[in-house]
Chain A
Amino acid sequence: MMDVQLAERQAELEVLRYNPEIAGEPKFERYSVPCKTEWCVLDALNYLKDNVDPTLTYRWSCHMQVCGSCGMMINGEPKLACKAMLRDYPGVIRIEPLAHFPVERDLVAVADDFIAKLKRVKPYLIPSDKRSLEEGEYRQTPAQLKRYRQFAMCINCMLCYAACPEYGLHPKFIGPAAISLAHRYNRDSRDGGRDERQEELATNEGVWECTFVGACSEVCPKHVDPAAALQQVKVASTVDWYLEHFMSWVKK
């Protein structure tokens, strides 16, 4: 088999380093890494860890934009390191952990807050009518699938949280991905759990902290369009509010 020759490039990386065992602020370290031009930023980090500094800490797993673990700030933008191609970054490449999250170590962001919020919104099917095994599967038409499919594409990479200024300003905000995933189940024809999820979503910390900056949708690597999900949740919650209040007046 013939070897494909890729062009070489000496990439200049500035990586934010933080060691929790040593007191002090995170600091940028500069590295010059021999790369191939077709590498992604994750390849450059892997080279660095394998050949220069084995203590460099960051998350990754799939190297193919499906696991959602390699999110980091690359030149100030939230990106998947395995999707950010070196050829798109001609100059010095500045790499930091995802914005708005605490830093665990080096490029690892603390995800606890997001995971806790995800649990709160019950992002799983709560069947409207439970079927026994003998009754067979829950059926769904292609049109019913399309109603929510885009919101089901989320890989929990948290890039949208790093982009959302409202999450940065109000850390209690449930945030784009968790609300989009809740909305994904709300729009599922087999689901009956919307009322339960509204207890979290229709609160001030829920969808109402969103001011529709739209940054989440711009950075989402999976085209989930979380901003769309949140606006739809607002419209539905507003209709609920008016119905609930006017209905109770009418009944009086």
Chain B
Amino acid sequence: MSRNPYVREVSPTTWFFRMPRYMRYMAREVTSIFIGIFTVIMLVGLARLSEGQVEYENFLAALRSPVSLVFLLLALAFALYNSFTWFNVAPKAMPIQVGEELMPDMVVAGSHYVLWVILSVFVLFWAGVF
């Protein structure tokens, strides 16, 4: 009997619409656009800082434009999404075995969340927000 397999092509540009889990994955990947741009903003801020007080104050003033405000809010939302997705899967890469049992994923992910909260509160405190 001759074989004649039928090949179904995967669309390289629209495949992620097929399943909600693919959309969630793409949302995670897209965080890199926002975090990437934010990293560049940090770099520019540092450059202005190195140039002197006036330049740096101008940088701070430029942050107050509506475009920048909207961007920062979006960046925060995507950065938070990235953090959640990262912490939730962190246990997978590093299985920890204590005695006979493997540590449940919850414990490893949970400790990431705890560390995250402590670090964030510390930074806010150090920066003088409180």
- Chain B 53-79 residues near chain A, CB threshold 8 A: none
B107 within 8 A of A: no
Considering only CB atoms and an 8 Å cut-off, how many residues of chain B contact the other chain?
A: 27
Contacts A165-B22, A214-B25, A228-B95 known; A102 to B6 CB distance under 8 Å?
Answer: yes
Q: How far is the CA of A11 from the CA of B84 in the complex (A)?
A: 40
Contact of A215 among B8, B21, B102 (CB under 8 A): B21
Complex contacts, B5 vs chain A, CB 8 Å: 20, 102-104, 110
Q: Give residues 213-252 of A contacting B (CB, 8 Å).
A: 213-215, 218, 225, 227-228, 231-232, 234-235
Contact segment of B40-48, B86-94, B115-123: B86-94
**CB nearest neighbor in A for B99:** A143
A165 x B16 contact (CB < 8 A)? yes
A20 and B92 contact, CB distance less than 8 A? no
Min C-beta distance of B32 to chain A, whole Å: 12
Q: Does B10 contact A (CB under 8 A)?
A: yes
- Chain B minimum-CB-distance residue to A168: B10
A146 contact set on B, CB distance < 8 A: 97, 100-102
A76 touches which of B2, B19, B29 (Cβ 8 Å) = B19
0/1 interface trace, chain B 1-26, chain A, CB 8 Å (1 if under) = 01111111010100110110110010
- Asked if A2 is at the interface (CB within 8 A of a chain B CB), the reply is no
- Say which residue of B4, B21, B102 sits within 8 Å of A20 (CB atoms): B4
CB <8 Å contact, B6 and A147: no
